[in-house]
Amino acid sequence: MSEQKPIPPGLTRAGKGRPIGAQNKTTRLAKEAITLAFEGLGGVEGLIDWAKESPENKAIFYERIFTKLLPVQVNADMRSLVVADVIYKGLNG
């Protein structure tokens, strides 16, 4: 192996890398395969038919599939959570 020369100040050996927001090849291929499977299984109409087949399927759709599309929002005020916990423990302790 050849010895690497010292890096001058202010420079790095790092390459450009992937552009911001670009998916790696494995992720892209997996999403393409899942999309093809979805279309092969009937697409949107097939999903609707499946969800209507039973109450269990409908529950799975809303609990496991649809929730993956919703944005995650956390609106918590830690001070009020601590106060609520202290009051709860005081009343029940």
Return averaged pLDDT per consecutive 10 residues of the chain, 93 residues in all. Answer: 70 74 88 96 96 96 90 66 57 56
Q: Is the distance from CB of 46 to CB of 52 less than 8 angstroms?
A: no
Structural element, H or E, at residue 29: helix 25-40
Q: Around 80, how many Cα atoms within 13 Å sit in the side-chain half-sphere?
A: 3
**64 domain residue, yes or no:** yes
Reported pTM? 0.52
Q: Is the distance from CB of 57 to CB of 51 less than 8 angstroms?
A: yes
Domain containing 34 equals 24-71
**17 domain residue, yes or no:** no
The per-residue pLDDT for 52 is 97
The structural domain count of the chain equals 1
The per-residue pLDDT for 1 is 54
**1 domain residue, yes or no:** no
CA 68 to chain centre: 7
Of the chain, the end-to-end C-alpha distance in Å amounts to 68
